[in-house]
């Protein structure tokens, strides 16, 4: 196991150098032979291990060295400094980090699937210490030689046709988000068009984007063809002019912008049931792959699905900045509100099924052209969920940490009402404090306005309030609605 490996010698990889016992025995021998004081100042050697056998050998050597030291001390052939040197080395050997041959995390070894991590390029990492695995990745800092000091502005300068970091020529401004701006660039080294995402100079934004790089590296490292998984392809990343920069493949519009444009200007509706069938299968394929890596996307919405090809109806899942591992300490605030799963809203434990709920919301929106659950407030969103999908199960109401924020004890929704000026002078017990929200009864079938029973049934499966009743991505891919040949423009 991971605990059975000792650290590699400096400049050596795993499997090189002496075993752990030999290293300690050599130190003991040096302490016995060397003049007083020299051994005490010598640095303990770092030696690699080779599994359980090396650990056993190391333990035996520690025992042997301790016995040798005790005998030598009793005979008067060791001075106190030499005894201390051997004892310090033994303590260091037991506390030092251990390199791994496996990238699996210790905390959920029995559940977490084994998968590849991108090589760290580091002689020491990955390493395990006290049950925690530490890893690393290189981050190139690109700078101008013979120049120091801060940049003139905290905002990265973007000028058309300028060349960033002597490699990327800016051709087009693509847009901005809460913590980044994106530009289309021509990579002067490879000749390909790429998307450059420039993270704003803010520590929290940079930290979140470093998380996204870590996750993108895992996603790109575990498949021979990330295009077949319909996930974003990572090309490069660097730190330049006080900004973290991420380079990815260049894609087209996101589904929100494209849907709005098509609805307002398109001669024919693009999001037919056939096209939706193809898009849904691609997104479920992406989720099945991502979920298989023990990840939750946690922000699936039309803005985070980009078109790769309009004519071939190809899309890709992007923006893994909010993604997390299933066994992370999960945040209670994830997902954009209109696509937020009931278990997240109510403060219940959640897992990858939240992405399945979001996908149901996205597909319904693309078909109707309207957000399924409007989000002017959490309470009104819950009222729409109850009105369209059905009642929230009792066990979820009883266990949800946030249920008292939205429901009266008898289970009715409420929201606090701001006190109006004309009521401000009234005693507190006479001021209006809450307003009941009565869900407007409807159904998913009514909202979808289609006679396609399999399509409606598919959405009903994805939008089950109880996450234990929702299908996994792999299970959803087996639904009858995704059977090829149903539509002339579908699968």
Which residues carry out catalysis?
299
The helix (H) or strand (E) run that includes residue 358 is: helix 353-368
The helix (H) or strand (E) run that includes residue 398 is: helix 394-399
With tokens 């590849």, the residue in question is 116
Strands 243-249 and 193-199: antiparallel
DSSP assigned state of 306: E
Is the bond leading into 447 cis (omega within 30 degrees of zero)?
Answer: no
CA nearest 351: which of 314, 320, 325? 325
- 407 in Cβ contact with 398 (< 8 Å): no
Name 407's bridge partners.
Answer: 413
Cα distance between residue 105 and residue 343, in whole Å: 27
Altogether, the residues listed in the chain come to a count of 491
Burial of 234-263, coded b for 16+ CB within 10 Å and e otherwise, reads: bbbbbbbbebbbbbbbbbebbbbebbeebe
With tokens 């937020």, the residue in question is 340
Residues in contact with 32: Cβ distance below 8 Å, sequence separation at least 6, in sequence order: 68, 72, 77, 78, 82
Crossing angle of helices 353-368 and 255-265, rounded to 10°: 10
DSSP assigned state of 437: E
**Encoding tokens for residue 253?**
């519009």
Three-state secondary structure call for residue 441: coil
- 128 in Cβ contact with 3 (< 8 Å): yes
């Amino acid at each position: 196991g991971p605990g059975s490996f000792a650290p590699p010698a400096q400049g050596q990889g795993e499997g090189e150098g002496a075993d752990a016992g030999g290293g300690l025995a050599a130190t003991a021998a040096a302490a016995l032979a060397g003049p007083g004081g020299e051994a005490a100042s010598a640095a303990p050697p770092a030696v690699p291990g080779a599994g359980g056998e090396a650990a056993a050998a190391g333990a035996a050597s520690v025992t042997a060295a301790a016995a040798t030291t005790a005998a030598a001390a009793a005979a008067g052939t060791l001075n106190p400094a030499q005894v201390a040197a051997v004892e310090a080395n033994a303590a260091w050997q037991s506390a030092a980090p251990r390199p791994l041959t496996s990238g699996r995390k210790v905390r959920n070894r029995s559940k977490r699937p084994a998968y590849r991590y991108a090589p760290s390029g580091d002689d020491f990492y990955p390493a395990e210490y006290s049950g925690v695995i530490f890893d690393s990745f290189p981050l190139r800092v690109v700078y101008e030689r013979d120049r120091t000091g801060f940049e003139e502005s905290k905002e990265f300068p973007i000028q058309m046709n300028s060349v960033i970091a002597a490699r990327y020529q800016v051709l087009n401004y693509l847009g901005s988000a809460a913590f980044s701006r994106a530009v289309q660039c021509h990579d002067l080294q490879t000749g390909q068009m790429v998307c450059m995402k420039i993270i704003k100079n803010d520590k929290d934004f940079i930290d979140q984007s470093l998380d996204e790089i870590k996750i993108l590296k895992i996603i790109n490292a575990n498949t021979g063809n990330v295009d077949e998984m319909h996930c974003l392809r990572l090309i490069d990343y660097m730190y330049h002019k006080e900004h973290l920069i991420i380079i990815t493949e260049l894609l087209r519009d996101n589904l929100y912008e494209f849907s709005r444009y098509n609805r307002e200007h398109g001669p024919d509706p693009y999001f037919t049931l056939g096209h939706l069938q193809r898009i849904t299968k691609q997104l479920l394929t992406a989720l099945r792959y991502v979920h298989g890596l023990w990840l939750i996307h946690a922000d699936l919405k039309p803005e985070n699905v980009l078109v790769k090809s309009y004519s071939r109806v190809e899309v890709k899942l992007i923006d893994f900045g909010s993604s997390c591992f299933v066994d992370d300490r999960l945040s209670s605030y994830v997902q954009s509100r209109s696509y937020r799963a009931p278990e997240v809203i109510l403060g219940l434990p959640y897992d990858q099924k939240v992405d399945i709920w979001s996908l149901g919301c996205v597909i319904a929106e693309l078909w109707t052209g309207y957000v399924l659950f409007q989000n002017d407030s959490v309470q009104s969103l819950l009222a729409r969920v109850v009105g369209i999908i059905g009642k929230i199960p009792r066990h979820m109401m009883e266990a949800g940490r946030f249920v008292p924020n939205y429901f009266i004890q008898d289970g009715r929704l409420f929201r606090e009402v701001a006190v109006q000026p004309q009521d401000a002078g009234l005693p507190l017990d006479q001021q209006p404090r809450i307003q009941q929200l009565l869900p407007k009864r409807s159904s998913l079938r009514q909202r979808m306005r289609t006679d396609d029973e399999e399509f409606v049934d598919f959405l009903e499966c994805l939008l089950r309030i109880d996450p234990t009743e929702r299908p996994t991505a792999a299970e959803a891919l087996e639904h009858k609605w995704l059977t090829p040949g149903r539509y002339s423009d579908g699968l």
